[in-house]
Amino acid sequence: MTVTLRSLETAVPSTVLVQDQVRDVFAAQPGLTRLGTRLVNTCFNGADIDTRRTALEELTLASTVENPQFFDPQTGLLLMPSTKTRNDIFAAEATKLFIEAGRKAVDNCPGIGPEDITHVITVSCTGFFNPGPDYKLVRALGLNPSVQRYHLGFMGCYAAFPAMRAAKSFCDADPDAVVLVVSAELCSLHVRSSNDPDIIMGSSLFADGAAAAVITARDLPGDSPAIVLDHFETTLTPVGEESMAWNIGDHGFEMVLGTYVPHIIDDHIVGALEPLLAKDPSLAPLAYNEIGHWAIHPGGRSILDKVEAKLELSEEQLVPARETLRNFGNMSSATVMFVLKHILDQPFTGGNERICSMAFGPGLTVETGLFTRVPGSGAAAAADALAAEPVPAAVG
């Protein structure tokens, strides 16, 4: 049975953060040590990010909010709201992104309407509320009240993969299933000034955004490109449990993003890929750069640099990840979906194109997926196309 991602859409808040301006605000905070100031400049300048999005309009220098809770543009001070204050904003603002992305995905999936959705899977690690985003989607999109709902919470940057894997499992079990997967993250809610290198690194990288996909095995009309979900694997590296974590503090959630993470990925990425690529014997004789597309979660520039060098990928193969990072920053679990959309929207150069995808998160956890981008319509057409061209074409 061929399970296909038929629609993939994204949504971001309207407020844009310019990286250089945000750097200058963080570097000017009164509590920073000389080392802290140097770290702010180093992390922000080296992030390879131009702009990010935030649900917090008051984080901009042009803000006219009367009673700011996060940033006072008059004094230039970053404020310290409680975790409750941050989470209350998450409940309001994340709901908007969940609904916007989910609606766009359903509206842009030919042959599918709200009444066809059988399962909803929502993903987020930046806030909690209940009734949650899965419930809000059912109400706002007019889905069947009996739709099966699942929420994956607090897993981190890799969580889009278990969500897609669960969607594939539902479709494998029921050929008529139509699964709506929506991830929304408001990472900017948890920014703060600090001399802690991990917090400074997180403040230089993280942003807000959402992505949604419709996944099904149904044979649907339409001629838009699609992504066949071939295989998934998950791996825990033998080291790194203390190097990446996501904890709840009194003044927001606290990211641990150690500087050693890129080195752990460098040491273990080949081993993490082995069980995934072993699923398809046609990939055995190929070098990594002969697999057409690489959808890498851009956890940071140094992570992408390590992946590119270790796997000897071309600069072109990292363009979707680097452009996502440059234009949107790291939106946690939603980010790899932005990268996949970048690949999905590219013009076809030939027949089917393989995609190897991966994301990294607390643990250190490495989630991987092997996909095929196919032209044309429907699961049946995708299956025929796969049978006609089993060997992946290289890009670049």
**Would you name the residues annotated as active-site residues?**
157
Helices and strands in the chain: count of H runs, count of E runs? 11, 15
- For residues 38 and 174, give the distance between their C-alpha atoms in angstroms, rounded to a whole number: 55
Task: Return all residues near 336 (Cβ < 8 A) that are at least 6 apart.
Answer: 157, 160, 161, 295, 296, 297, 357, 359
- For residues 384 and 396, give the distance between their C-alpha atoms in angstroms, rounded to a whole number: 26
Q: Which residues pair with 257 in a beta bridge?
A: 244
Q: Buried (b) or exposed (e) across 316-344, using 16+ Cβ within 10 A?
A: ebbbbbbebbbbbbbbbbbbbbbbbbbbb
What's the angle, vertex CA 317, arms to CA 313 and CA 318, rounded to 5?
A: 90
- For residues 235 and 331, give the distance between their C-alpha atoms in angstroms, rounded to a whole number: 22
- For residues 329 and 322, give the distance between their C-alpha atoms in angstroms, rounded to a whole number: 9
